[in-house]
Structure 1
Amino acid sequence: MVFAVFAPLIFAIIIPFISRFKRKIHTGWLILPVPLLIFIYFLQFVGRDFSTIMQSTNWIPSLDISLDFYLDGLSLLFALLISGIGTLVVLYSIYYLNKEEQLGHFYTYLYIFMSSMLGVVLSDNVFVLYTFWEFTSLSSFLLIGYWHYREKSRYGALKSMLITVFGGFSLLGGIILLTIVTGTTSIQEMVSKSDLIINSEYFLFILVFLLLGAFTKSAQFPFHIWLPDAMEAPTPVSAYLHSATMVKAGIYLMARFSPIFSEVPLFFVLLSIFGLVTLTWASYMAVRQTDLKGILAFSTISQLGMIMAMLGFGTTYGVFAAVFHILNHATFKGSLFMIAGIVDHETGSRDIRKLGGLMTFMPISATLAVFGTFSMAGVPLPFLNGFYSKEKFFESSLHLEGSGTFVEGLITAAPIIAVVGSIFTFVYSMYLFFGTFRGEYQESELPKKPHEAPIMMLVPPAILVLGVILIGLFPNFFNHVLISHSADAVYGDSVTKKIKFWHGWDSRAFQMSLVVISLGVLLYLTKSKWDSIYSFLPGPLSFNRVYDWIVEKVESVSNRITTFYMTGSLRLYMVLILTTIIIITASTLVFTGGMNFDVNDLAPITTAEIIIATIMALGAIGTTIAKNRIAAILILGVVGYGLSILFVMYSAPDLALTQLIVETVTVVLFLLCFYHLPNLESGTKSFTKTGTNLLISTGYGLLMMLIGISAYNSRFAETISTYFMENTYKLGGGHNAVNVILVDFRGIDTLFEIAVLFGAALGIYTMIKLRQDKGAK
């Protein structure tokens, strides 16, 4: 598994070199075997009498962080989707992107994302999961902004980054609290310690942080606004990230952590409410869109809301339906995104108002779209997998349990909301297909004459549509080898459900489907009569406006703050930096008990030390009042050379020698750089400036003194000098402890000190040589 996770990342490093041959062969062909082999690797686990598999590699043992990859039914389902659909997306992109594009960039970003998603779904260590989680945000930002010369692409990329990274930080907060409470970084061990988590004082924070992480990533209301703008990415990106992988990362997170909250009704209530609201609102808004990918974006949001709601139901019916629909949605939605890309590629437009009548010109694409849209709509046909999982959704909404007024209200409302959201799902599905492939052909509205796509460009969506049909015809085969194992992993116990097409006329779920189809057909046929409602709901209201306002205000405030301190004044910068250091460090010392000011154990001060210190102090003061540059620099050198003398007195000749050389180089550098130095200020300095300088310099000096004394008096172990004195002769063979320490015990440190001296000498020689050469000319 380790190689399967990192293989795309390894190839991402060499893709820029491979892409140099793109004029001879498309880069996609060269890297296509990578996801295909990963898919084949995970395919071998399908159908087994499944038991979990763990592989572990040490990474940061001191922090209990290791690369623990865990394979069970849930992670296997996602790994197959990531690698399988990833293979089809790479094949599709070969015909979607021409060789003039920056293919090296595209495939590098895509493979980083693929590796990151595999890491998310296979990681058992929460910090490793978070690392991969943030890599998905970063790589998706690069993919969405791939056509960076387009303003909308940059806007969509930034929007997705800001919202998902906000959720990522929330997730990190929840993860940190989980590790504090449980004392482990393993998800499986956290599940076994769910009682500790539920009874913890941090429980509410853990719950909120995890939900924020999942809701932002999986585009749940009200964080859904980033997904429609992400449609500015190339269609292969949309088909991969926004239908099968990235947007389902939040779904995966909730599924993986749901056993921890199995005894917490609030968790499931929140998931159900936000999922149902997302389903209804997004399906309603999808009918309003005119861009093909915009319709599909809102349809994806609504489908994600439906899956989240099913997880929130928390029953065996809900968990099974959620896992089943994760698989089904990936097949029909991935194919529809690819068909939308084909329509755009072959007609030059995605505006559904300009499309119509394309079935005559693109019969194969239209046929594939029929299966995809009708499956998404939940039309009751035995070869459409979407109908089966839609029935399971209705069935799960009818089997809710719980007590309390609020929960009972949710139990009553859930089937109604499920029907309403599904009605609009049916409407936008019919709108998508018939608005594109049926109706009147508008030749004058299209940039180019439509025609069918190349056969190899049709192969990826055809394979996904074949998946729609096969799952529809043989649902229990897929249930036995894959779906039930995934549901077991989520529910934490055996989930055995039979998938049947026909449940009888008295089946309430089937009756709900009939209501959806009847009202859906009616609303679709009368769409022009009622779609003016969108001018009232949402009307001018928009979460996009809220987002834009927040971003604008943050930028405005940041600009004012930056303008305040970025004045070009070096003095102001030093004042701010030193003041911050003084305040933060002093506060830390005081509030953490680090202030340990005790002078009883300090060595006595000798007369020589007092004289040298006084000379250094006078030199420092003299530097500030000198009127001549050369005088100021020479006086400043007195401080450095005085420090060298102190090193000699404290038996540290190596430090003294290093200080002498570096001080000499510093003085020489100042003298050589006179030309670039600012003019010395003339006149008397203001009282405010002088007082500020005096206050900060005094405060900083006192702080360093307090740190030194406190550090000396805060010893938590025996001094190492005892060890050196006892072993100088025994291990080093010398009587001079300092020499033996420098040459033997700290030989590497001495080596680098010599390197510093060499660098300083080389710098001096270079400057002198340049000066001589210039004089010779």
Structure 2
Amino acid sequence: MLTAVFLPLIFALLIPLLSKWKDKIHTGWFVLIVPFTVFVYLVTKTGKDFAPIRETYQWIPSLNINFDFYLDGLGLLFGLLISGIGTLVVLYSIFYLHKSEQLAHFYVYLLMFMTAMFGVVFSDNVYVLYTFWELTSLSSFLLIGFWNHRKGSRYGALKSMLITVFGGLSLLGGLILLHLVTGTTSIQAMIEQKEVIIQSPYFGWILAFVFLGAFTKSAQFPFHIWLPDAMEAPTPVSAYLHSATMVKAGIFLIARFLPIFVLSEWFMIVTSTVGIVTLCIGSYMAVRQTDLKGILAYSTISQLGMIMAMLGYGTSTAIFAAVFHILNHATFKGSLFMVAGIVDHETGTRDIRKLGGLMTLMPITATLALFGTFSMAGVPLPFLNGFYSKEMFFQASLDLSGTSSITEVLAIVIPILAVVGSIFTFVYSMYLFFGTFRGEYKEQELPKKPHEAPIGMLISPIILITGVVVIGLYAQLVNEPLLAHTYEAITGEISNKTISYWHGFIPAFQLSLLVVGVGTVLAMTRKRWSSIYNVLPGSLSLNRVYDWLVDRTEKYSMKITNTYMTGSLKTYAQLLLSAIFIISAAILFLTNGINLEATDLAPITIAELLIVGMMAFAAIATVFTNSRIAAILILGVVGYGLSILFVLYRAPDLALTQLIVETVTVALFLLAFMHLPELRKRTEPLRTRALNATIAISFGALMTIVAISSFASKWFEPISQYFLETSKSLGGGKNVVNVILVDMRGLDTLFEIAVLALAALGIYGMIKLRGNSKEAK
């Protein structure tokens, strides 16, 4: 699994080289190999006899953070979607993106995102999962903002980043609490301690933090506002991120932790309520949109809300329906995004007000849209997979009245809202298809003369729509080898569910007919009642709240920053020293860390007193001198005095180092003497002088207390004994200080040398640049 996870990221390193040949062969043909290879690997794992696979690779074992990969039915389903849809998206992008685009950037971002999603769904270690989780936000930010010359792309990318990263940080808090409560970083081990987690006093916080992480990533109300703006991304990105993968990461997270949270009544109430509200708001707002991808964005929000609600129900029927709809939604929604891209590519617009009558001009595309939209609408036809999971959704909603985890009010309200949301789902599906492919053909309003798309662009949606039909006709083909294992991974129970078209004239089927009937009437009369959007939502918009928050945050951040970023080094020093003093002193006081009872200190000799007195006098004198040369020389006295102290304390290496540093420092000051500012008589008011003196004395006292307390406190075994014992055997030297620098902390020394070398190169470059400019004059 390690190879499957990191193969896209490793291959991304080769993209800059492969893209050099893009004039001869599209870069996407090379990239296509990667997701297809992973897909084939995962397909070999499907079957009735599938058993979970666990692999562990050490990363940071001292912190119990390793690459622990766990492939069960849930991870297998999402892995197949990520790799399978990823293969079709790359194939589609080959014909959608022109060779003049920045293909290297696009495919590097896409492969980075692919690795991130594989890491999320395969990780068993919570901290590794979080690392990949945030990588999905970063890579999606780059993909959404791929066309960065567009203002809308930049806005949408930043919006998605801010909201999803906010949720990601919240998720990290929940995962840390889970680790503290259970003492393990393994998700599977946490599930085994679900009773401990439920009874923990931190459980409420855990639930809230995980909710924020899942709801923001899966565009649940009220965090759904980022998804419509993300439609500024290229269509292949929308088809991949916003139908099958990234937006389902929150769904995956809830499903993964469902065995723990399902024991909580609050989890059931919050998840089902948020999900059903998201379904209704998303489907209702989709009918208002005029952009094809805007309609699909809100339709995705509604479908994600439906899946989230079913997971919140917590019943066996609801969980199986959620699993089934995850697969179904990926097939019909992925194809519809590609259809929208084809329409935009061949007509030059996505504005549905300018479209219409394209069925005769684009018959294949229209046929694909017909199957996709009717499946999304849940039309009760046996060859449309969307109907099966939609009917299960209705059945699960009706069954809530018999569960104890949902209140009586919700048991009544949720089925009603499920029907209302489904009615509007039917309306926007019909609006999308008939508004684009039927009606009046408006040739004069189209930027380009439409024609059928090239076959290369049609292959991917054809494959997805074929999946819609095959799953509808032969659902058992995916049930036993895949869906049953996914259900078992979530619930821990063996699935006995079967999928069939006809269950009799049951209430769930009656609701499906009701949705079709009422939805047809509303779709046909849409123009007559669409003015309702002027009232509800009217001027109300969560986007305005987001814009207001971002605007105010920027303004107040600027004001706060301007108060201390004054360009004054003295001000910066005051702030830094004050902050260190306040924080350190507070921690020392609160943890009882002050210990001044040092009994085994070496005796102080007269020579040491004289040297320290000389250094103190020189340090104070630098403050009052008005001569630059005197200040430099007096400052040198402090450094050389410290060297003498090192000699007295039998540290010749440190003494030599200090002598060299002090000599070089004084020499540099003298070399730059003419460029130093003139020292003037201090004219600061008494209050400023008192503040400076207070900071200086307080910080000096703090350092003294820290030094004595650290010497007097014996909280841990001193590491010096280890260095003394192993200096010869491990480092091959008797000089312990040298062994520490070269061997024990050799990497630190290496990087210090590298920093100095880089600084030297920079200085050399500036000198050469200045010399060249003088010669040019």
CA 1:707–1:537 in structure 2 vs 1: closer, same or farther (change >3 Å)? same
Work out whether 1:77 is the aligned partner of 2:77. yes
Question: Equivalent residue for 1:628?
Answer: 627
Question: Equivalent residue for 1:440?
Answer: 440
Question: Equivalent residue for 1:412?
Answer: 412
Question: Match for 1:172: what amino acid?
Answer: L
CA distance in 2, matches of 1:283, 1:441: 27
Question: Match for 2:452: what amino acid?
Answer: E
Does the CA contact (< 8 Å) of 1:278 and 1:301 recur in 2?
A: yes
Stretch of structure 1 that moved more, 214-223 or 692-701: 692-701
Question: Equivalent residue for 1:51?
Answer: 51
Does the CA contact (< 8 Å) of 1:658 and 1:757 recur in 2?
A: no
CA 1:638–1:763 in structure 2 vs 1: closer, same or farther (change >3 Å)? farther
CA distance in 1, matches of 2:657, 2:566: 36
Question: Equivalent residue for 2:323?
Answer: 323
Question: Equivalent residue for 2:396?
Answer: 396
CA 1:345–1:758 in structure 2 vs 1: closer, same or farther (change >3 Å)? closer
Q: CA deviation at 1:672?
A: 2.8
CA 1:541–1:629 in structure 2 vs 1: closer, same or farther (change >3 Å)? same
Q: CA deviation at 1:47?
A: 1.3
Question: Match for 1:41: what amino acid?
Answer: Y
Does the CA contact (< 8 Å) of 1:742 and 1:750 recur in 2?
A: no
Question: Equivalent residue for 1:157?
Answer: 157
Does the CA contact (< 8 Å) of 2:401 and 2:412 recur in 1?
A: no
CA 1:563–1:744 in structure 2 vs 1: closer, same or farther (change >3 Å)? closer
Q: CA deviation at 1:673?
A: 3.2
Does the CA contact (< 8 Å) of 1:374 and 1:384 recur in 2?
A: yes
CA 1:561–1:481 in structure 2 vs 1: closer, same or farther (change >3 Å)? same
Question: Equivalent residue for 2:645?
Answer: 646
Question: Equivalent residue for 1:298?
Answer: 298
SS at match of 2:502: coil
Does the CA contact (< 8 Å) of 1:741 and 1:747 recur in 2?
A: no
CA 1:653–1:261 in structure 2 vs 1: closer, same or farther (change >3 Å)? same
Question: Equivalent residue for 1:31?
Answer: 31
TM-score in terms of structure 2 length: 0.95
CA distance in 2, matches of 1:164, 1:726: 51
Question: Match for 2:530: what amino acid?
Answer: D
Work out whether 1:501 is the aligned partner of 2:501. yes
CA distance in 2, matches of 1:46, 1:545: 47
CA offsets 1:232-279 (integer angstroms, 9 cap, x no match): 000000000000000000000000100012321211111110000000
Does the CA contact (< 8 Å) of 1:332 and 1:376 recur in 2?
A: yes
Work out whether 1:748 is the aligned partner of 2:747. no
SS at match of 1:576: helix
Q: CA deviation at 1:398?
A: 1.4
Stretch of structure 1 that moved more, 487-496 or 575-584: 487-496
CA distance in 1, matches of 2:211, 2:254: 8
Stretch of structure 1 that moved more, 394-403 or 193-202: 394-403
Question: Match for 1:565: what amino acid?
Answer: Y
Question: Equivalent residue for 1:134?
Answer: 134
Stretch of structure 1 that moved more, 441-450 or 240-249: 441-450
CA distance in 1, matches of 2:86, 2:315: 32
CA 1:722–1:286 in structure 2 vs 1: closer, same or farther (change >3 Å)? closer
Question: Equivalent residue for 1:544?
Answer: 543
Question: Equivalent residue for 1:576?
Answer: 575
Question: Match for 2:3: what amino acid?
Answer: F
Does the CA contact (< 8 Å) of 1:402 and 1:408 recur in 2?
A: no
CA 1:528–1:62 in structure 2 vs 1: closer, same or farther (change >3 Å)? same
CA 1:261–1:142 in structure 2 vs 1: closer, same or farther (change >3 Å)? same
SS at match of 2:517: helix
Does the CA contact (< 8 Å) of 2:724 and 2:736 recur in 1?
A: no
CA distance in 1, matches of 2:732, 2:369: 84
SS at match of 1:223: coil
Q: How does 1:463-478 map to 2 (within 5 A)?
A: 463-478=463-478
User: Number of residue pairs matched?
Assistant: 765
CA offsets 1:702-743 (integer angstroms, 9 cap, x no match): 111111111111123555666777899999999xxxx64346
CA 1:403–1:757 in structure 2 vs 1: closer, same or farther (change >3 Å)? closer
CA 1:436–1:730 in structure 2 vs 1: closer, same or farther (change >3 Å)? closer
Gaps of 5+ in 2: none
SS at match of 2:440: coil
CA 1:12–1:676 in structure 2 vs 1: closer, same or farther (change >3 Å)? farther
CA 1:281–1:750 in structure 2 vs 1: closer, same or farther (change >3 Å)? closer
Question: Equivalent residue for 1:228?
Answer: 228
Question: Equivalent residue for 1:558?
Answer: 557
CA distance in 2, matches of 1:359, 1:352: 14
Q: CA deviation at 1:638?
A: 1.1
CA 1:493–1:732 in structure 2 vs 1: closer, same or farther (change >3 Å)? closer
CA distance in 2, matches of 1:390, 1:723: 67
Stretch of structure 1 that moved more, 358-367 or 680-689: 680-689
CA distance in 1, matches of 2:22, 2:754: 50
Question: Match for 1:417: what amino acid?
Answer: L
SS at match of 1:596: coil
CA distance in 2, matches of 1:654, 1:227: 62
Question: Match for 1:259: what amino acid?
Answer: P
SS at match of 1:496: coil
Q: How does 1:97-108 map to 2 (within 5 A)?
A: 97-108=97-108
Q: CA deviation at 1:16?
A: 1.8
Q: CA deviation at 1:402?
A: 5.6
Does the CA contact (< 8 Å) of 1:125 and 1:185 recur in 2?
A: yes
Q: How does 1:505-524 map to 2 (within 5 A)?
A: 506-524=505-523
Does the CA contact (< 8 Å) of 2:269 and 2:406 recur in 1?
A: no
Question: Equivalent residue for 1:40?
Answer: 40
Question: Match for 2:664: what amino acid?
Answer: V
CA offsets 1:276-295 (integer angstroms, 9 cap, x no match): 00001110000000000000
Work out whether 1:692 is the aligned partner of 2:691. yes
Q: CA deviation at 1:341?
A: 0.5
Does the CA contact (< 8 Å) of 1:661 and 1:757 recur in 2?
A: no
Q: Percent same amino acid among aligned pairs?
A: 63
Does the CA contact (< 8 Å) of 1:732 and 1:740 recur in 2?
A: no
Does the CA contact (< 8 Å) of 2:218 and 2:248 recur in 1?
A: yes
CA distance in 2, matches of 1:108, 1:102: 10
CA distance in 2, matches of 1:732, 1:68: 34
CA distance in 1, matches of 2:235, 2:568: 49
CA distance in 1, matches of 2:532, 2:75: 43
SS at match of 2:602: coil
Q: How does 1:221-370 map to 2 (within 5 A)?
A: 221-370=221-370
Question: Match for 2:199: what amino acid?
Answer: N
CA distance in 2, matches of 1:753, 1:301: 53
Q: CA deviation at 1:408?
A: 1.2
CA 1:743–1:588 in structure 2 vs 1: closer, same or farther (change >3 Å)? closer
CA offsets 1:286-316 (integer angstroms, 9 cap, x no match): 0000000000000000000000011111001
SS at match of 2:650: coil
Stretch of structure 1 that moved more, 49-58 or 679-688: 679-688
Q: CA deviation at 1:589?
A: 1.2
CA offsets 1:321-357 (integer angstroms, 9 cap, x no match): 0000000000000000000001111111000001111
Stretch of structure 1 that moved more, 394-403 or 741-750: 741-750
SS at match of 1:54: strand
Stretch of structure 1 that moved more, 480-489 or 154-163: 480-489
Q: CA deviation at 1:484?
A: 1.3
Question: Match for 1:25: what amino acid?
Answer: I
CA distance in 1, matches of 2:44, 2:413: 43
The RMSD of aligned alpha carbons is: 2.5
Does the CA contact (< 8 Å) of 2:398 and 2:415 recur in 1?
A: yes
Does the CA contact (< 8 Å) of 2:217 and 2:249 recur in 1?
A: yes
CA 1:676–1:329 in structure 2 vs 1: closer, same or farther (change >3 Å)? farther
Q: CA deviation at 1:426?
A: 0.3
Stretch of structure 1 that moved more, 706-715 or 75-84: 706-715
Q: How does 1:5-24 map to 2 (within 5 A)?
A: 5-24=5-24
CA offsets 1:586-618 (integer angstroms, 9 cap, x no match): 111111222111243322221111111111111
Does the CA contact (< 8 Å) of 2:53 and 2:72 recur in 1?
A: yes
SS at match of 2:376: helix
CA offsets 1:132-191 (integer angstroms, 9 cap, x no match): 000000000010011111111111001000000010011000000000000001111101
CA 1:347–1:182 in structure 2 vs 1: closer, same or farther (change >3 Å)? same
